[in-house]
Chain A
Amino acid sequence: MHNVGIITRRELASYFATPLAYVFILIFLLLANAFTFYLGGFYERGQADLAPFFTFHPWLYLFLIPALSMKLWAEERKSGSIELLMTQPVKLWDAVLGKFLAAWIFTALALALTFPLWITVNYLGSPDNGAILAAYLGSLLLAAGFLAIGSCMSALTRNQVVAFILGVVVCFAFLLAGFPMVLDLFRGWAPQALVEAIASLSFLTHFESIVKGVIDVRDLLYFAMLAVFFLLATAVTLDLRKDL
């Protein structure tokens, strides 16, 4: 575990060594606020809550998280530094986890910087702050799922653009799985159990209940297991082809 911390620290520092961190945070905040106020109708709704803000997070993450995760392993492969890292006395899992944690902590930081919105709703009315906290937690878990998928896609290639596109596509599939449009396709003929199974795989299904302020252990487990699964897949991919 000691090595996880070392790798996480190095990765985090490398985000801030380039303009990437600042550009990412700036765009994240701009888009998050644009979605909230223009698409979400924050003022027009006349309700003191952050639902218009959180509702769009899955769509915001769909493009921003793969942009963050695409470099995790593809860049190491491209520059050859993967050979340096993999020949240090470090367990593969420690490296996978360390890099993931760095990206996750970074996302948490970007998310935390949306705090003025929280202050604003508290100024405008009296929202359910417990529900808002739950929604922040849900958003962070959602980000973990996206990031783990992105990490795995990044491990598959040495090309960051390919990693980005693969990341978006796979994340999109996990989002769509819970969309009524997709579920309706199955509802007509498929057994209810299958429809539920597909819906239960979806980010949206699990995310929406958390956003409503309902923290269900099953939703937490879902995101945790999804992240662990894709991080294991990252490790397996790397182990099979370190020298891609």
Chain B
Amino acid sequence: MIKTDHLTKHYGALKAVDDVSFQVGAGEVLGFLGPNGAGKTTTMRMLAGFVTPTAGSASICGHDVVTDALAAKTALGYLPEGAPSYGEMSVRRFLDFIADLRGLEGARRSARLEHVIENLHLSAVLGQTIDTLSKGFRRRVGLAQAIVHDPPVLILDEPTDGLDPNQKHEVRTLINDMARDKIIIISTHILEEVDAVCTRAIIISRGRIVADDTPAGLAARSRYHNAVSMQLADSAQLESARVAVAALPAVAQVEVSEREARLTALPRPGALILPAVSELAARAGLKFKELHLEAGRLDEVFRTITA
């Protein structure tokens, strides 16, 4: 269990984190979202025991991060922002060093090292110094040190930043695999990641929590929730289609993209317009290439909430 209670951090007059309270339980993957400078990293640093809170408290598995810091750190695997490490060390030596600090010994030590090296595909670069690695490899070395001791709690600050799409996919798979029996917090500004790995999302803006919901719940706040999007085969039909769809009683607004010959109908609050729109399309003889129901756009919700 991760718990924060009125957690606050001031830097002079700047309130970097302002009265943040939340709890995360086992099996949850919490996505921490927010614009740059919103306080995501500062919050995570306080949880990891790197920054001391100005006020409020936080605990990891019942251990207060200030008064019982060593026990809290023992239960935690932490990937700092930018995945810093010791550049002059080889990957092998670096992981050995972390395994030493984490007190891993004997058969378990070799098994855990082997496990992270295999899962993060590090075997090819074990002998290389970290300075010479690509950004993607460095990030994976950072992830490896965070999970090498198999901690019950993981806090990962932008774990997929700088990775290519294949690597991103692998890291997300890894997080999903670990999610069953761990508590995980990841920060990201890649919204697709929230759908891919998170069971819950907290949006933070100017140091305060502005939304705390499931990804689906957040998407439902979008104007585009249950909107119907239709791409026409013939752009000549666009104008007449727009007029006809806008005339439907449950439709609040119609947006048109001339370039794509696409028309998006936004429902009135609570209304389901898909049956009406598809029936209209059949009746009016609209030829469409594609028609779908939107779940809602996270990026639009994100912008609305944090603007």
Contacts and interface: CB of A to CB of B under 8 A. Distances in A.
Interface of A: 3, 6, 10, 13-14, 17-18, 79-81, 83-84, 86-91, 242-243
Contacts of B214: none
B48 A87 contact: yes
Nearest to A14: B88
Contacts of B145: 84
B283 to A, nearest CB: 63
B50 A91 contact: no
Contact of A89 (B45, B51, B73): B73
B86 A242 contact: no
Contacts of A84: 80, 84-85, 145
A17 B86 CA distance: 11
Contacts of B89: 10, 13-14, 17
A80 B50 contact: no
Is chain A's binding surface mostly helix, strand, loop or mixed? helix
Residue among A80, A81, A83, A242 having the largest count of chain B Cβ atoms under 10 Å = A83
B97 A6 contact: yes
Given A86-B49, A89-B70, A242-B50, A3 B101 contact: yes
Nearest to A84: B84
A90 B50 contact: no
B51 A242 contact: yes
Given A6-B100, A6-B101, A87-B76, A79 B87 contact: yes
Contacts of A88: 73, 98, 101-102
A79 B84 contact: yes
A138 B102 CA distance: 37
Contacts of B103: 89
Given A87-B48, A87-B78, A81 B84 contact: yes
A175 to B, nearest CB: 32
Contacts of B48: 83, 87
A89 B50 CA distance: 11
Among all A-B residue pairs, the 6 with the closest Cβ atoms? A80-B84, A17-B88, A83-B80, A89-B73, A87-B48, A89-B74
Nearest to A92: B69
A27 to B, nearest CB: 20
Given A87-B76, A242-B51, A10 B88 contact: no
A91 B70 contact: yes
B253 interface: no
B102 A86 contact: no
A3 B100 CA distance: 8
A83 B93 CA distance: 19
B149 to A, nearest CB: 9
Contacts of A86: 49-50
Interface in B264-281: none
Contacts of A14: 86, 88-89
Given A17-B129, A87-B49, A89-B102, 10 more contacts: A10-B97, A13-B89, A14-B88, A81-B85, A83-B50, A84-B85, A87-B78, A90-B101, A242-B50, A243-B51
